[in-house]
Structure 1
């Protein structure tokens, strides 16, 4: 029996040695997922930069942040530059830091007052008063569209929902970036890996 257990453990350890060559796939998947998100966010800020600056600085309908032009520039640069570097897997751990800061600022200044849910769903966990109140409004909107619009056509691309704009998505991206600080760009699939191998040749 002891011999059998030892054999199984030995086989298990040997199998893990083969799977370690695939450990870069997790980091690659995280990077590929995040690239279009940050690229589109940065592009949107850049294309409407004056509006972005106004939104960052306005105390009435904006974020009321200090130095709005600088803050908007930093956020735009972090998202566009971050998307490019994540796509390449270059300086992955380093570039994750400003993106994490961007996500924390977004959570605290934009999303936190709306609670957890990104899409309002009164039946889901963490439904706050704002989400619960949205159910009646959503039902009324459906009723209006069913009576006065082509409801089947309007919903043919997806269900009618109310955007709650909570922290759910930003928190998810934050967690993914924290994972990339630990994982790095990933074995084989990142510029970081090949740059590290190249640099190690000169250290020997």
Structure 2
């Protein structure tokens, strides 16, 4: 009986921390998308050319869509606004990045593999 009371008290106290893991995920993801979003917006025409060289259809449109999605995530995720809505296009962006850029390099992030985009996709799925 005493164990049950201890367990109940502990779970009640820990319930106050239930929002911390999603907050950490959102902050990590916003930080992770900031650099690529700024890089894309800083050279959007170069990104469109790069997308075209990889065979991505409508490269200019997709460059703007990827940059806009990532920048929207940088703004919305830390605030916790539209998290589930922005997560869907971000997961699509990660799938495209894995298939077109990272998969051929293997898994390891040090070799520009698909490790980091996969982790981002899993965090987005958890949100």
TM-score normalised over the length of structure 1: 0.60
User: Which residue of 25, 31, 37 corresponds with 1:30?
Assistant: 25
**Cα distance in 1 between the residues matched to 2:23 and 2:68:** 22
What residue in structure 1 maps to residue 12 of structure 2? Answer: 17
Q: Which has the larger radius of gyration?
A: 1
* Alpha-carbon shift at residue 110 of structure 1 (Å): 0.5
What residue in structure 1 maps to residue 69 of structure 2? Answer: 78
Question: Superposed, which structure 2 residues align to 1:143-162 within 5 Å?
Answer: none
Query: Is it true that 1:176 corresponds to 2:120 in the alignment?
Result: no
Please identify runs of 4+ aligned residues in structure 1 that moved more than 2 A: none
Please list the CA deviations of residues 136-158 of structure 1 after superposition, one character each: whole Å capped at 9, or x if unmatched: xxxxxxxxxxxxxxxxxxxxxxx
User: Which residue of 52, 62, 77 corresponds with 1:57?
Assistant: 52
TM-score normalised over the length of structure 2: 0.95
Structure 1: runs of 5+ lacking an equivalent: 1-5, 120-163, 181-204
**Cα distance in 1 between the residues matched to 2:84 and 2:8:** 29
Structure 2: runs of 5+ lacking an equivalent: none
User: Which residue of 71, 79, 94 corresponds with 2:85?
Assistant: 94
**Cα distance in 2 between the residues matched to 1:48 and 1:87:** 25
What residue in structure 1 maps to residue 102 of structure 2? Answer: 111
* Alpha-carbon shift at residue 34 of structure 1 (Å): 1.2
User: Which residue of 3, 7, 21 corresponds with 1:8?
Assistant: 3
CA RMSD across the alignment: 1.0
Which structure is higher in helix share? 2
